[in-house]
Amino acid sequence: MLKRISIRKITLATFTLLVLTLMYLLPNDTKDLKVEQTEQYVDLDTTNLHEIYLLDKNNYIARTTISYVNSDNKSIEEKVKELLDAMIIGGKKESLIPNGFKAIIPVDTRILGVTFNDGTLKIDFSKDILDINQEYEEKMIESICYTLTSIKEVKGILIYVEGELLTELPKSKKFLPTILDRSFGINKVFNITSLKDVEPVTIYYVNKCNDNYYYVPVTKYTNNTDDKVKVIIEELAGTPTYENNLMSFLNSNTELINYEIKDKQMKLEFNNYLIDDIDKMNILEEVKYTISLSIKDNFDIDEILFYVDNEEIEKTVFSEQ
């Protein structure tokens, strides 16, 4: 018992001596302590939202957005690769896709090369891109075409597969134009009675996923040779629901009184049924964008002005995003 007590006393004394020695050796002025710190700064303004067209739950190619690192200093080729990486199943950026949408380019597809010159984009894919079900072949081309032409500088696209120009879809045998642009159409619907005077018009409708609205373009082929601006407004005002849950919120009594185009600016003048709140003179966001996106897809313009009773109510300015 005495032996244990002695050992404890010796241990305590040794520990106390060690503490006193450390206190003596260590500086007591905190200014002498040099602590290396690494500070990391996060720039909250380094991401943008970019337009992208992906498959939705109803098998439409639909317009949504993904976030990506600020691309002010990126080349067109770098932007294209980043978007394609989100469009490939299992791709590097697939995780950026919002809920309710999915990539459509087949898994394991590789981007062998991307070049951009004078408005035309040339993309070379591995042969894996052709490993796709027939029902999705054309939709995949629509997805690529609409996504990449959302980059302002891109006017046309050449698609190659391991060095050879893709001129035909292998399963459906559908012919592809040499240079693809938005005239290729999207979510196509044919309602024609004659092969003469066939006119395409692309109209954007609204759909909903997880309480969020998004936009679905539909290219309609008809024998209607009326003015396209009038056709767009009449179609959007004509029915509140089109096909599978595609909606339009434009009041059925809305009338386009007049329009004019000058210097890539379109002025649209409506009756007051365009207005959602007559006191605040507001237009529903979904109405504004279904009209604006539809007009933009059919006309080469940069701005749309909305007028009611000779008063400018809203303005849409198109940018790369």
In the chain, where the domains are located: 47-181, 189-317
CA–CA separation, 241 vs 85, rounded Å? 34
pTM of the model as a whole: 0.82
pLDDT at position 261: 96
Q: Which of 83-87, 192-196, 235-239, 278-282 has the lowest mean pLDDT?
A: 278-282
pLDDT at position 184: 97
Residue 69: pLDDT band (50, 70, 90) is low
Alpha helices in 189-306 (DSSP H): 228-238, 285-298
CA–CA separation, 61 vs 207, rounded Å? 12
CA–CA separation, 271 vs 256, rounded Å? 7
Residue 72: pLDDT band (50, 70, 90) is low
pLDDT at position 315: 92
Beta-strand ranges (E) seen in the chain are 47-56, 61-69, 101-102, 111-117, 120-125, 156-161, 164-165, 189-191, 199-209, 212-222, 241-242, 246-247, 256-262, 265-270, 303-308, 311-317
| Tens-digit pLDDT profile for residues 236-267 | 998 766 666 899 999 999 999 999 999 999 99
